[in-house]
């Protein structure tokens, strides 16, 4: 087996975008790296939406680690010009539309059932939807181009640990080989490999969110904004074209995502609330059709669509929420998506993963050959990760609780946007990477705790009258005020926010 006699500083499992970037960054630091992938590229994957924070981190990687080609991927305009062959889509912000079971979508001139939150000022500087099959495969090609050891169709079977490091048993094409390394980085995006190698278990304990997803890629989907116009509603005051954003259709039992790529493919998925949905044993296609049939306007939108060749079928997850009980060990560490996950609402996954990778690379850079200091920093990283998952969970769980009542949802969602604004502004002013969404900052924790109490109070009363919704909105506006530099919850905006991110 190729590379089997070599000894590596770091062995990385999983050649998604995070694993490949980890390999490239460590290589730039002079580390000897081996990247192992159990499948083969290109391969279908979701986790497709970038955000301003994700783009900021890509730009920092490009400049700080001498990877100038990476910067082009941090904005839609430069991506299209520089790498047109790597498929992507335009993502101008976050759009939300509230649907009610059995009724066509309806709204009014004040956009009472719509919420559009811009994340960029124009298409040129916009975020992107990553067609992961293309983006991940491109990054792997860069790994190979750099001369980094890369093994695909390779399974890591077991590990032995001694005073000198780690000895891995791997299988490739039915043949068994050995790889040795000083350190192991799990970028697989799931808990299974660490359970196999170190018996690290995963738990759902403590999560308030309970959701699962049914998803695929489809084609021949008309523009949702055209459907809204055909129904007689005005979209002239939209801050951007709604279909070229992370489009969320809010239901009573969850929500649907729609992410559009430039070649006409659309990533779609229902994320359904496990507290409300009893479809544990239903097949993916059955869940899709059954949910779609409850919402006439979504049925109209997707009725003529067909599945794309990849993956060519409906897929479903088990419960999405999970967290490793241990996120770092004496010679191993997990990237955020491996360590845990909450939910794809607000597209936090890619930025969270990149944020964790950024901190880990800094830790490796600072503590070469200093085992005790490395361990101390890795444990700090693990504590931050737990706090970040708890914060995302709190914010997302509140969204599920308010989805049936759009006035409450609009107010509650602004707590998440306030956290992202605070994080983006911090990134603009500091060279020191800090935890995602500033989750360990006392002022963020206090703000979110106060908002949670206000939400619990409303839900306990069960009064969703306009007056009660207004009182709740006023309370949230007051709580987020120290972080709200974007005019969130300004009544004159009528749920149309033109630019909310820090300057990118």
- Residue 52 Cα to chain centre, angstroms: 12
Do 272 and 293 lie in one domain? The reply is yes
86-107 tens-digit pLDDT: 999 999 999 999 999 999 999 9
Specify if 386 maps to a domain. no
| Average pLDDT of the residues in 239-266 | 97
User: For the chain, how many structural domains are there in total?
Assistant: 3
198-236 tens-digit pLDDT: 999 999 999 999 999 999 999 999 999 999 999 999 999
Q: Calculate Rg over the CA atoms of the chain.
A: 23
Contact between 437 and 420 under an 8 Å Cβ cutoff? The reply is: yes
343-388 tens-digit pLDDT: 999 999 999 999 999 999 999 999 877 889 999 999 999 999 999 9
Do 112 and 232 lie in one domain? The reply is yes
pLDDT of residue 6: 81
| Average pLDDT of the residues in 416-434 | 91
Write b or e for each residue in 397-423: b if 16 or more Cβ atoms lie within 10 A of its Cβ, otherwise e: bbbbbbbbbbbbbbbbbbbbbbbbbbb
pLDDT of residue 162: 84
Do 78 and 173 lie in one domain? The reply is yes
Which residue in this structure is represented by tokens 């969970």? 393
Domain boundary among 260, 282, 316: 316
Give CA–CA dist 236/105, Å, rounded.
18
Q: Is the pLDDT of residue 4 over 70?
A: no
Strands 211-219 and 266-273: antiparallel
Characterise 71 by phi-psi region: left (phi > 0), alpha (psi -120 to 50), beta (else). alpha
Q: Residues 6 or more apart from 444 whose CB is under 8 A from it? A: 391, 419, 422, 437, 438
pLDDT of residue 504: 45
Do 177 and 77 lie in one domain? The reply is yes
Of 444, 329, 426, which Cα lies nearest the Cα of 390?
444
Specify if 167 maps to a domain. yes
Give CA–CA dist 487/42, Å, rounded.
42
Here the tokens at position 177 are 């080989």
Predicted confidence band at 279 (pLDDT cuts at 50, 70, 90)? Answer: low
Give CA–CA dist 468/466, Å, rounded.
6
Do 41 and 64 lie in one domain? The reply is yes
Dihedral sign for Cα 378, 380, 386, 389, please.
Answer: negative
Give CA–CA dist 267/315, Å, rounded.
12
6-19 tens-digit pLDDT: 899 999 999 999 99
| Average pLDDT of the residues in 177-185 | 97
Give the helix/strand (H/E) hosting 83: none
Strands 254-260 and 149-151: unpaired
Do 297 and 223 lie in one domain? The reply is yes
182-198 tens-digit pLDDT: 999 999 999 999 999 99
Do 107 and 246 lie in one domain? The reply is yes
441-465 tens-digit pLDDT: 999 999 999 999 999 999 999 999 9
Give CA–CA dist 244/91, Å, rounded.
5
Do 156 and 221 lie in one domain? The reply is no
What's the CA angle centered on 354, arms 417 and 384, to 5 degrees?
Answer: 75
Residue ranges making up the domain that contains 223: 90-129+211-316
Contact between 182 and 166 under an 8 Å Cβ cutoff? The reply is: yes
Here the tokens at position 154 are 């390779």
CB atoms within 10 A of CB 220: 12
Do 111 and 160 lie in one domain? The reply is no
Specify if 473 maps to a domain. yes
Specify if 387 maps to a domain. no
Do 435 and 483 lie in one domain? The reply is yes
Contact between 153 and 39 under an 8 Å Cβ cutoff? The reply is: yes
Secondary-structure breakdown of the chain: helix, strand, coil percentages, each rounded to the nearest 5: 40, 20, 40
Of 314, 248, 253, which Cα lies nearest the Cα of 285?
314
Specify if 460 maps to a domain. yes
């Amino acid at each position: 087996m190729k590379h089997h006699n070599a000894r590596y500083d770091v062995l990385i499992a999983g050649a998604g975008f995070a694993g490949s970037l980890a390999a490239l960054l460590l290589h730039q630091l002079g580390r000897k790296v081996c990247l192992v992938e159990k499948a083969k590229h290109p391969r279908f994957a979701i986790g497709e939406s970038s955000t301003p924070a994700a783009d900021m981190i890509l730009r920092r990687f490009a400049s700080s680690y001498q990877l100038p080609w990476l910067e082009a991927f941090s904005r839609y305009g430069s991506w299209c010009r520089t790498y047109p062959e790597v498929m992507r889509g335009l993502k101008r912000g976050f759009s939300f539309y509230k649907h009610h079971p059995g009724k066509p979508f309806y709204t009014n001139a004040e956009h009472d059932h719509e919420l559009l939150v811009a994340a960029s000022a124009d298409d040129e500087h916009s975020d992107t939807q990553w067609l992961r099959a293309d983006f991940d495969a491109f990054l792997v090609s860069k790994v190979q181009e750099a001369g980094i050891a890369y093994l695909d169709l390779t399974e890591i079977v077991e590990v032995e640990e001694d005073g000198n490091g780690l000895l891995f048993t791997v299988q490739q094409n039915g043949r068994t080989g050995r790889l040795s390394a000083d350190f192991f980085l799990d970028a697989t995006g799931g808990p299974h490999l660490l359970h196999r190698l170190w018996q690290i278990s995963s738990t759902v304990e403590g999560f308030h969110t309970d959701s699962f997803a049914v998803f695929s890629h489809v084609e021949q989907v008309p523009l949702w904004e055209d459907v809204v116009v055909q129904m007689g509603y005005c979209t002239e005051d939209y801050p951007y074209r709604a279909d070229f954003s992370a489009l969320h259709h809010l239901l009573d039992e969850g929500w649907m995502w729609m992410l559009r790529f430039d070649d006409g493919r659309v990533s779609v998925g229902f994320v359904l609330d496990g507290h409300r949905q009893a479809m544990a044993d239903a097949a993916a296609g059955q869940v899709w059709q059954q949910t779609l049939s409850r919402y006439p306007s979504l049925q109209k939108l997707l009725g003529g669509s067909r599945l794309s060749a990849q993956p060519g079928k409906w897929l479903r997850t088990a419960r999405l929420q999970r967290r490793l009980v241990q996120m770092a060990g004496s010679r191993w560490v997990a990237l955020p998506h491996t360590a845990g996950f909450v939910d794809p609402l607000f597209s936090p996954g890619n930025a969270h993963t990149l944020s964790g990778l950024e901190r880990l690379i800094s830790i490796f850079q600072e503590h070469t050959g200093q085992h005790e200091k490395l361990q101390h920093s890795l444990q700090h990283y693990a504590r931050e990760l737990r706090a970040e998952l708890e914060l995302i969970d709190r914010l997302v769980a509140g969204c599920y609780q308010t989805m049936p009542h759009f006035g409450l949802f609009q107010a509650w969602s602004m707590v998440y946007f306030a956290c992202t604004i605070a994080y983006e502004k911090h990134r603009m002013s500091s060279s020191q990477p800090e935890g995602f969404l500033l989750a360990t900052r006392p002022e963020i924790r206090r703000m979110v705790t106060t908002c949670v109490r206000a939400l619990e109070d409303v839900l306990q009363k069960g009064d969703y009258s306009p007056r009660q919704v207004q009182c709740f909105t006023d309370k949230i506006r007051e709580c987020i005020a120290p972080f709200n530099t974007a005019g969130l919850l300004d009544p004159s905006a009528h749920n149309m926010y033109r630019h909310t991110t820090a300057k990118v």
